[in-house]
Structure 1
C-alpha cells in the first residue's frame, strides 16, 4: 500500500453511520496497528476485487470441500471471528484491526450490515472471515485460518452465497498472492468506483440462516 496516495484523512473515532457512508463512496478505515487508538481512511489507487464468476478452486481444495471434514455457518459467531482476525500469532505479528474497529463493526453486525462466515471442524471454529454488505456489494475485511485451507473454504462458501443472493461485487480491498491464486484481480480506483456505484443500486441480502449447498455444488462443477 502506498500510504502517500491511499491514505486520505485521519479520525480518532468511528461510528456506524460514518463507516457506512465511507463504504458507499469507496473508502474504508484502518489502524496502523492493533494498539493504536486512531484510524485513518483509505482510498486505494489500486483495488482488489474477486469477480464472482472468476473464482478459482484448485483440485486439492475441491477434494477438501467434497470430503466434508469442515462445515460452514454464517453470522453464527461474529464476535469470535473478528477477534480471531485481530489476534496476533506466530504468522501474524501485527494487525490493522484495533479495539475501536472491533467495537464499531460489532455494532454494525447488530444493525445487519456486518457479517461473518465461520468454518468449523467438529465443534471448533478453525477459520473464517467477516465483511460489510451494502446493496449488491460485499466488502471483505479480514480472514483467518487455524487449520489448513479453512480461510479458503470460508471464501468459497462466501462466493457461493453471494452469487445466489444477488450480489455483483466482492471487494477484497487489496491483493495478496493467496487471494490472486483464487481469482482476485487488481483494478484502478476509477474502475472500482464505477463498479461500486453499479453494485449499490442492486438489491441483495446476506441471510443469517442459509444453506448454499446447491450453489456450492454448482460452483465446484464450473
Structure 2
C-alpha cells in the first residue's frame, strides 16, 4: 500500500477497459495481482477488464464498461432496475474467475449531476456509483475464489482523521471509512428490482466513490 492513486478520466478509462495502459496508479490489489489472476483464471482481456472493475482496484466506471459491451453487442438491456439503474444480460457466454456471468448492472453520475448513458436519473436521491456482476455460484464459493487469488474484499475500518462522538447512552463511536474492494451478496442483485432473478447466484459489486479512494490514500500515507 502507499502507492499514489491517479483517477482515470473517461477517455482513459475506456482505454483501460480494453487493456491499453493509461499509466494509472494501482491500489493494494492492483496491476501485479490482476496480471497474476489473468494468468491463472481470467481467460480473455474482456474478463480481465471486468475483474478489475468489480475488484475495485480503481474507481468503478460502469458507463464506460456497459457502453463498450453494448457496442460489441455482448450484452442486452433488461427491464430490471429502477431509479435510473440499468441491468444487462450477456448475449453470449461470459465468465469471471470460472463462474458463469448471468447479469451485469451499474450506475454512474455525469459531471452535471445527472447520469451517464446508458443509465438514467430517477427522482429523488441519486444512487451511488457502482458496477455489479451476478454469477452462478454460492457466496462462499465466489468469495473464496476471489480471495484465493489475492484480491481484496471491501471493509470498514476506523477513521481516526475524524473525531469520535458520544451518543445519548454515553457510548463512544469512532467514525469509519470504506476501504474499497469487492463486495459479495447472495442472489441476483438482491437490493434491486429484477423481473426474473436467476437462482443460485452471487452478486459481486464495486460501490465506491472518489472520496472513498482518496480517504484510503490519505490513510496509507498517515500509517
Task: Pick the structure with more helix per residue.
Answer: 1
Q: What's the TM-score bracket when you normalise by the shorter of the two chains?
A: under 0.3
Higher RCO (C-alpha under 8 Å, 6+ residues apart): 1
- The normalised TM-score by structure 2 is 0.26
